[in-house]
Structure 1
Amino acid sequence: MSTYSLQVRQAVPSVDPVVVSYASGYIQHVSNNTEDSVTAQLIDIPEEMFFINKLLIEAGGIEAKVNELTNKLIEVLGEKLRENTAKLELTGDKSKRLLDINLLQQNNSKRDINSSLALLSASNDIEHTGRKMESRVDKKKLEKQERKIAKKVAKRNNKFVQYEASKLLNESNGDDYDSFFLKINPIDFGSGAGKSKDIKLDNFDLYVGEGQRILSDASLTLAYGRRYGLVGQNGIGKSTLLRALSRRELNVPKHISILHVEQEIRGDDTSAIQSVLDADVWRKNLLGEEQKIADRITEIEKLRAEFDEESLEVRKLDNEREDLEKHSQEVTEKLSEMESDKAESRAAAILYGLGFTKETQNDATKSFSGGWRMRLSLARALFCKPDLLLLDEPSNMLDVPSITYLAKYLQTYEATVLVVSHDRAFLNEVATDIIHQHSERLDYYRGSNFDNFYATREERIKNQRREYENQMAYRKHLQAFIDKFRYNAAKSSEAQSRIKKLEKLPLLEAPEDDKVVTFKFPDPDNLSAPILQMSEVSFGYTPDKILLKNVDMDIQMDSRIAFCGGNGTGKTTLLKLLMENLSPLSGLISRNGRLRIGYFAQHHVDSMDLNLSAVSWMSQKFPGKSDEEYRRHLGSFGITGTLGLQKMELLSGGQKSRVAFAALCLNQPHILILDEPSNHLDTQGLDALAEALNNFKGGVLMVSHDVSIIDKVCNEIWVSEDALVRRFPGDIHAYKKHILELADASGVVRRH
């Protein structure tokens, strides 16, 4: 065994011996080239060792150990090269070179073991220490390994996407939005005419962060005009897939325009409606180009008057004008195709549907809160009408009226929509198909809304489990016969027959079970009425601008109240009044003296020290228990194992929400007041929350946009409109119908 072979084997003991033999021979070959009069002047040690590094990692080597080996080789061979170069004269017959470096570098991206061996002139022998040594490599094993490595290299080189950070609507430099938009979506003057806008991406891998794979050999198919709901557990990589699509890190055809809504816009002095108009960079640029062309044609007319009609200058100007007029026609046709003349009315209708009044549409974007800026991002995307619209949890920052409007709008959206959401009611209304992301793959449920998907998937899992269990029982039966009669002369032929049957059985994998998530709120002690009451309560941040007027509300131990209404109508303010964080201008709020309230804030993360673990944070916030008790309590909300001991900044949004739920009930509250509790929770988390609230022995008052959880938990709907708070005569579905009737009466939903 050569020195290099020993070094490679020590660094990567688990790698196939065929690869070790090849790698060590290659390193020895590079070492020999440092002594050759011709190749010494051409060799690039780091480049050659990079190839070895990549080869060993692809073959299963541990990256850290391989890096250590190649760094050491670069140092040793580099020093050897410097010493030999000083001694050698640059002479020699180039035809006798064992390694043509230029050719090797030229083919580096496509190199596999086969091509490398051919370039080394070593199809039969591998050069080691200056003498020819017959190769002891098993050629069949070599070919198998070649195919395996070639497949991995091809996948890495051509099908691999590693997402680091991408923000479509807001790059880190927000001023460069226009150029970024045009980079992702170049203006198409007809080259895409007649081309299919279906998207089909086959056999790709997708990674996030430090090599964490979220999709393996996956295929994504999006038919133009369909609306896809992308579902899966928290942390599975759904948002990463959307971001990779939005940046064309996955190979989406250039003639398909893309827009991604994932965060709020940056606030400045631009008005809301102008911000929406500016989002359509195509229209903005084309209008500017149209004006420049008109100005230049006017300038040409003036210049023509200064020259003789038959002069060369006039002919040049006429040619330029002809080209400009031709391009002007293309621009005009493109603007007409985009219905540019209807842009302002369409932008105003979209904003109005998302809750912006005619007055607030002219307010500066910097005057809006985060939730309203998120709506602006959504309005900008809807206004642009991209061929592929990507939405990431659009309902998280919207109220019930706005979600209802958005769902209605998307139902008539003519292009492709891919939306990540855990809102079942929203997906039931919007989705024509469901894509389930799990286990590093994408499963398709065509022609399904969420409820159909859920039922179909449950049935599919039952069938898979039944088939798996039947086969396991059959295998066990065959194996028992084989074990009993294998060495029985009379039964040996039957045993052999069963062995063959056993070998031919397809290998089935046990169907995966979703992680079971449970929440449990502790039962409070009994309180006598009244528990929590508001009588004739009025409030405004200034006396001349009343937000809530003459509110009467009674919350009992058996209350299940959902508080609905548009953003800015005082829902969160009412919760703060009940929590005594604000004082009313008039009226009375009475509380039982022993009443304990558990409050879940919409922005609960702001109150957490994310540098601490969940256990440490809870022990500081609510002292008096042992770490084991805190861990057991967190476990009842799905924070199990080591999750409670990790820094909370490493937890997903849904996991942080579970920590917040665990914390709010440490004082065994009689009443739970919840502000948007469904945000960030996945389907399993939402089911667990709904079940826990139904089993809770105290009262519940929640502000939520999630129709499904309201429908499962609440039996009273209270609505805040025009400073008045009243009980709505019907359930949440009746309230949604009421909203749509109002929208249809105003023509908002129809005017797009």
Structure 2
Amino acid sequence: MPSDLAKKKAAKKKEAAKSRSRTKKPDENGEGGGAEGQEDGAASNGVESLGKELDAFELEKTNARAVTGVLASHPNSTDVHVASLSLTFHGQELMSDTSLELNSGRRYGLIGLNGTGKSMLLSAIGHREIPIPEHIDIYHLTREMPPSEKTALQCVMEVDEQRIKLEKEAERLAAEDSECEKLMDLYERLEELDADKAQVRASRILHGLGFTPAMMQKKMKDFSGGWRMRVALSRALYLKPFMLLLDEPTNHLDLEACVWLEEELAQFKRILVLISHSQDFLNGVCTNIMHLHQRKLKYYTGNYDQYVKTRQELEEHQMKRFNWEQDQISHMKNYIARFGHGSAKLARQAQSKEKTLQKMVASGLTEKVVDDKTLSFYFPSCGKIPPPVIMVQNVNFRYSDDTPYIYKNLEFGIDLDSRVALVGPNGAGKSTLLKLLYGELRPSDGMIRKNSHVKIGRYHQHLTEQLELDLSPLEYMMKCYPAIKEKEEMRKIIGRYGLTGKQQVSPIRNLSDGQKCRVCFAWLAWQNPHLLFLDEPTNHLDIETIDALGDAINEYDGGMMLVSHDFRLISQVAQEIWVCENQTITKWNRDILAYKENLKSKIAKQMHDF
């Protein structure tokens, strides 16, 4: 029971909340309330939609989804337990009679193979298609902030709509149960949204995600989609909802911002559900792992490394039990077959064994461990080209005469044995360098010489946009590579990249983001390039696919340049780390984990000085 002091404090906060509600400030247009919450806040249906209506694609997905489940926790509890949860999409069963268990104060990493339904589950939670009490406000980050005249700082700080909802919910709970644990949390939330602290908190978050003071005052219409996504993420962190749903939040971030976000999310004290392909990021943030496997949610305590260890131990024990049961069953069946019609004594023993066998079956036998499907990516042999394959000589580059130089006096060479990871802050020119080497951009000064026979395969974040969504992966690849006449031969090729069975003949629009990326990798590999330029190749891929990609790169006999925020992939495949910063490129002489520690120290100093 709370002390008298706690009760008085709660009563005082309740009165303050009522007072704020009565003296609500007008918005920019002089009208009370503002519409920002409907546009880009935790909307009344619980989803962060960043628009007045769902786009056509999101609406189509919602209509094609069927969800059932029963709330098993107390309606006013801060924990959410849903029993008998099932989810289907276009008639395909993604989850069947499983349990969703989300406890306050825990940070869950949701993992599973591409296409198993991870993002679908987050979307169903965000849209409240799963029974979640109204007092649990949900913020599902789904897209970037829309272009507008508002500044980045304004977009993060606008909380009138959220404040009103929290005040109403606090009044409702106070009337029902003034000692409710959730009520105290609501009062704490209202204090966090206090206008006196707003600008300092919002500025700190934006700074952590890479915004300078000048950028914070820049209008949303002047930002690219990636930076507007950072504003949306900043807003999510600023609002501190009771349930925060993040699907691959690092996809638009550089390594420095990833390190800051990892530290920030590790302090989140409510309910966080996170989908991430980065083992390193999951290790730094998560207190629990939810594994979506065989249409069930399985729960593990600890971070990703602990999950791997625990799962291995459990599966070893399960297989021992399974093998023992199968041996017992085989022995009893043989005995029954041999002696079931023998002497009276042997027949009685056979009947006893038959009853024992029936009891074993009735009580439920141990299932055989079903491993995750393993796949092996493949980049065909590219043959030999004598060095130098690419020579960069005295190169300067800027986008126009009135913009600053991104690079000055670059001098280096790339050969078929080069394995380089490009790191550095956003805007330093990592993707720009790949475009220069590929030939999409021309140097402002200097020269880039390429071997006349070199073929470059470039993977980038927008490659999926070239896919023809109404075609199936099989049809698309047959169209791109008409020299391959036999469908069965093309099926085998696509299968190497983890697309099998119905996935090969379903329209590409029905595939998950990760499966679309696999189509792109199949298309890229079959160009048979001498050099791979990979710009954020891990976005939307599951952990197993990233490992397969790492193995394929290591077996590939051509050169590779990689831009990635995935520390683990860099550690797997890069032999050199080049830092792009301050208009030049410098070689980092230690490993990528030492670079991460260096970033942590740098960020801690920046945040202290900010």
Distance 2:460 2:245 in 1: 28
Distance 1:622 1:166 in 2: 45
**Mean Cα deviation higher: 602-611 or 543-552:** 543-552
Q: CA deviation at 1:620?
A: 3.0
User: Which of 474, 485, 492 is matched with 2:328 structurally?
Assistant: 474
User: In structure 1, the residue corresponding to 2:548 is in which secondary structure?
Assistant: helix
Q: Which blocks of at least 5 consecutive residues in structure 2 are unaligned?
A: 1-44, 56-74, 168-185
User: Which of 555, 564, 572 is matched with 1:712 structurally?
Assistant: 572
- Compared with structure 1, are the counterparts of its residues 656 and 468 closer, same or farther at alpha carbon in structure 2 (3 Å cutoff)? same
User: In structure 1, the residue corresponding to 2:546 is in which secondary structure?
Assistant: helix
2:289 is equivalent to residue 431 of structure 1: no
Contact 1:232 1:436 in 2 (8 A): yes
Distance 1:522 1:333 in 2: 58
User: Which of 268, 279, 300 is matched with 2:148 structurally?
Assistant: 268
- Compared with structure 1, are the counterparts of its residues 619 and 546 closer, same or farther at alpha carbon in structure 2 (3 Å cutoff)? same
TM value normalised by structure 2: 0.81
Q: Which blocks of at least 5 consecutive residues in structure 1 are unaligned?
A: 1-164, 176-194, 288-330
Q: CA deviation at 1:279?
A: 4.7
- Compared with structure 1, are the counterparts of its residues 376 and 709 closer, same or farther at alpha carbon in structure 2 (3 Å cutoff)? same
- Compared with structure 1, are the counterparts of its residues 532 and 214 closer, same or farther at alpha carbon in structure 2 (3 Å cutoff)? same
User: In structure 1, the residue corresponding to 2:213 is in which secondary structure?
Assistant: coil
Q: CA deviation at 1:602?
A: 1.5
Q: Where does residue 498 of structure 2 map in the other structure?
A: 638
Q: Where does residue 523 of structure 2 map in the other structure?
A: 663
- Compared with structure 1, are the counterparts of its residues 613 and 253 closer, same or farther at alpha carbon in structure 2 (3 Å cutoff)? closer
Distance 1:332 1:197 in 2: 16
2:214 is equivalent to residue 354 of structure 1: no
Distance 1:472 1:238 in 2: 34
User: In structure 2, the residue corresponding to 1:625 is in which secondary structure?
Assistant: coil
Matches within 5 A, 1:139-150: none
**Mean Cα deviation higher: 230-239 or 249-258:** 249-258
Structure 2: which amino acid aligns with 1:479? K
Distance 1:747 1:238 in 2: 34
Q: Where does residue 259 of structure 1 map in the other structure?
A: 139
Q: CA deviation at 1:509?
A: 2.2
Distance 2:89 2:125 in 1: 17
User: Which of 513, 520, 526 is matched with 2:378 structurally?
Assistant: 520
Contact 1:428 1:451 in 2 (8 A): yes
- Compared with structure 1, are the counterparts of its residues 279 and 532 closer, same or farther at alpha carbon in structure 2 (3 Å cutoff)? farther
User: In structure 2, the residue corresponding to 1:215 is in which secondary structure?
Assistant: strand
Q: CA deviation at 1:286?
A: 9.6
Q: CA deviation at 1:437?
A: 1.5
User: Which of 654, 667, 671 is matched with 2:514 structurally?
Assistant: 654
Distance 1:643 1:214 in 2: 14
Contact 2:230 2:252 in 1 (8 A): yes
User: Which of 626, 644, 652 is matched with 2:485 structurally?
Assistant: 626
- Compared with structure 1, are the counterparts of its residues 333 and 527 closer, same or farther at alpha carbon in structure 2 (3 Å cutoff)? closer
User: In structure 1, the residue corresponding to 2:291 is in which secondary structure?
Assistant: strand
Structure 2: which amino acid aligns with 1:451? D
Contact 2:151 2:216 in 1 (8 A): yes
User: Which of 303, 311, 324 is matched with 1:457 structurally?
Assistant: 311
User: In structure 2, the residue corresponding to 1:740 is in which secondary structure?
Assistant: helix
Q: Where does residue 405 of structure 2 map in the other structure?
A: 546
Q: Where does residue 452 of structure 2 map in the other structure?
A: 593
Structure 2: which amino acid aligns with 1:271? T
Q: Where does residue 542 of structure 2 map in the other structure?
A: 682
- Compared with structure 1, are the counterparts of its residues 520 and 364 closer, same or farther at alpha carbon in structure 2 (3 Å cutoff)? same
Q: Where does residue 24 of structure 1 map in the other structure?
A: none
- Can you list the C-alpha shifts for 1:589-619, whole angstroms capped at 9, x where unaligned? 1222221211112111112222222233233
Distance 1:693 1:360 in 2: 38
2:395 is equivalent to residue 529 of structure 1: no
Distance 1:681 1:203 in 2: 29
Q: CA deviation at 1:517?
A: 1.5
Contact 1:537 1:551 in 2 (8 A): yes
**Mean Cα deviation higher: 737-746 or 374-383:** 737-746
Distance 1:636 1:456 in 2: 30
- Compared with structure 1, are the counterparts of its residues 677 and 210 closer, same or farther at alpha carbon in structure 2 (3 Å cutoff)? closer
Query: Which structure is richer in relative contact order (CA contacts within 8 A, separation 6 or more)?
Result: 2
Q: Where does residue 354 of structure 2 map in the other structure?
A: 499
User: In structure 1, the residue corresponding to 2:158 is in which secondary structure?
Assistant: helix
Q: CA deviation at 1:479?
A: 0.6
Distance 2:347 2:555 in 1: 61
Q: CA deviation at 1:632?
A: 2.2
Q: CA deviation at 1:171?
A: 4.1
Matches within 5 A, 1:120-269: 167-173=47-53, 198-269=78-149
Q: Where does residue 392 of structure 1 map in the other structure?
A: 247
Distance 1:230 1:224 in 2: 16
Structure 2: which amino acid aligns with 1:343? A
Contact 1:174 1:266 in 2 (8 A): no
Contact 1:673 1:701 in 2 (8 A): yes
Distance 1:461 1:371 in 2: 41
Structure 2: which amino acid aligns with 1:587? G
User: In structure 2, the residue corresponding to 1:743 is in which secondary structure?
Assistant: helix
User: Which of 587, 596, 604 is matched with 1:727 structurally?
Assistant: 587
Distance 1:562 1:612 in 2: 34
Q: Where does residue 363 of structure 1 map in the other structure?
A: 218
Distance 2:355 2:221 in 1: 74
Q: CA deviation at 1:530?
A: 0.7
Distance 2:188 2:463 in 1: 51
User: Which of 200, 212, 236 is matched with 1:381 structurally?
Assistant: 236
How many correspondences in the alignment? Answer: 524
Q: CA deviation at 1:267?
A: 1.1
Structure 1: which amino acid aligns with 2:100? L
Distance 1:243 1:600 in 2: 28
Distance 1:562 1:503 in 2: 60
Contact 1:279 1:381 in 2 (8 A): no
Q: CA deviation at 1:211?
A: 4.6
- Can you list the C-alpha shifts for 1:125-173, whole angstroms capped at 9, x where unaligned? xxxxxxxxxxxxxxxxxxxxxxxxxxxxxxxxxxxxxxxx985242444
User: Which of 462, 469, 475 is matched with 1:616 structurally?
Assistant: 475
Q: CA deviation at 1:420?
A: 1.3
Richer in helix (by share) = 1
Structure 2: which amino acid aligns with 1:355? G
TM value normalised by structure 1: 0.66
Distance 1:492 1:169 in 2: 70
Contact 1:169 1:265 in 2 (8 A): no
Distance 1:593 1:234 in 2: 39
Q: What is the root-mean-square deviation in Å for CA atoms of aligned residues?
A: 2.6
Q: CA deviation at 1:652?
A: 1.8
Contact 2:46 2:137 in 1 (8 A): no
- Can you list the C-alpha shifts for 1:618-665, whole angstroms capped at 9, x where unaligned? 333333222333222212222233433332222221122111111112
Structure 2: which amino acid aligns with 1:379? S
**Mean Cα deviation higher: 408-417 or 619-628:** 619-628
Distance 2:441 2:479 in 1: 26
Q: CA deviation at 1:355?
A: 1.0
- Can you list the C-alpha shifts for 1:201-257, whole angstroms capped at 9, x where unaligned? 231323344454433333222222221111111222222222232233333333333
Identity %: 39
Distance 1:276 1:717 in 2: 35
Distance 1:362 1:380 in 2: 15
**Mean Cα deviation higher: 571-580 or 631-640:** 631-640
- Compared with structure 1, are the counterparts of its residues 335 and 577 closer, same or farther at alpha carbon in structure 2 (3 Å cutoff)? same
Distance 2:496 2:124 in 1: 35
Q: Where does residue 68 of structure 2 map in the other structure?
A: none
User: In structure 2, the residue corresponding to 1:582 is in which secondary structure?
Assistant: coil
Distance 1:640 1:689 in 2: 17
User: In structure 1, the residue corresponding to 2:241 is in which secondary structure?
Assistant: coil
User: In structure 1, the residue corresponding to 2:598 is in which secondary structure?
Assistant: helix
Structure 1: which amino acid aligns with 2:525? C
